[in-house]
Chains A and B, each alone.
Chain A
Amino acid sequence: MAVQITTKEAVKKIIDKSSVMIGGFLGAAVPLKMIDEIAAAGIKDLTVISIGAGYRGGGVDIGKLVLNKQIIKYVTSHVGTDPNLIKQIVNEEVELELSPMGTFVERVRAGGAGLGAVVTPVGMGTEVEAMAEKITVDGKPYLLFKPIRADVAVIKAYRSDPLGNLQYQGMSNTNPIMATAADIVIAEVDEIVEVGEITCDQIGTPGIFVDYIIQGHSYAERKNVYEELWIATNKL
């Protein structure tokens, strides 16, 4: 069962040295308001766990935390979209932990699902072999990766009800998986509706996984933010 709090209250759940999962995919479907608030609060030495860096070019969404130098470790599958982050990694200001994207996602899922490891063939014959343990199952070689969990997950959904039942629209990408894999789960939503308005088969993340709900930008505001970003970067 979830509790609705303000963005300012929510950001207090994250402290210096916290590990923080951030939902979304290279800038899409990210919790914009919470990221702004984390940036404003100046929390330091964060381990950020997200499937990739922020929107191409850097400096927006997760890229704000990079510009602020709030991150000491980045757990991900891709940093190519953020030149500032790459620079900090090369300068050894930020430690990088990479895994292939599908493996990253399974590691987070395993963290939330109480599984002990992820056993995957992906990465065999590449440098990824050095990032994992090699094991043999049925005579075939696989890589064994450990689960990933975080102190706090900050995710983005379309709507919530007061029980914390979340509805997604479009690509939910990492959000439903990350909602399962942290001690504290904060969901930023476009809209909070009454119980029952999100029907049982529209619920993408049941409230059992969610601790706090915060009111993000409205859908109209958020659409505007992305349209402006996409027009400015020649994508729309």
Chain B
Amino acid sequence: MSRSAVVVAIILAAALFAPWLAPYGEAQFVGGVWDPPSVRHLLGTDNLGRDMLTRLIFGARNTVSIAGLATTLAVGLGVALGFLAAALGGWVDALVSRGVEILLSIPVLISALMVLAALGNSLAVLIATIGLLESTRVYTIARAIARTIVVREFVAAARLRGEGLVWVLAREILPNALPALAAETGLRFSFIFLFIASLSFLGLGIQPPAADWGSMVRENAPAINFGLIAPLYPATAIALLTIGVNRLVDRYLAAESRPGAA
């Protein structure tokens, strides 16, 4: 098990068994504001006097689960539409690409407020919103990758056999697009951590007192001015998971780019 795999495993374990691992309650006030690390509070306390370690553990659960679901939705939707646009071309490509362009050029503030005004605020809405908005970015990259694969002969061979579009996309194009898509997915997962926080800041996100790493960085950020490192704990947690996940992607990418693989 490589180092990064261990790190990711630890974080997933924390996410899964949060209630049993956390020393205190998720919303429990246990001390002063930004108390330094002590025996009772290994990482000190946060901006409201809650135990930082507890918040990180519960934060892991919310962040990883929501980011995981949102990434799956974003990558699934983005890749499917991207491949369809590349494979079919013509008006399908034009229609979807322009639609994506529209979504991308509307500032996130307005789209988030629009969704909030229309659908209210629930975890499902949060995940759907992130999934939809991020899928536009995945779409752009997936389409670019697929366009170079669609013109190759083995795709023509499959189509000539009478294969359906779904088979061509899933078994002929996807395997060749996986290395680059894996890199994109790894990054998208990390971008979404912070996207959850910025949406929560707008009111469309995780309701207090639930914790998520991105919001913890935002709430504790002022401490940096007083020479306190409170915001660095959640920031480090995000960094560890980000580097862990993307290092695993690199391992897969290295295996895939060995000659004979492509």
Check if A and B associate. Answer: no
B residues in contact (CB < 8 Å) with A: none
A residues in contact (CB < 8 Å) with B: none
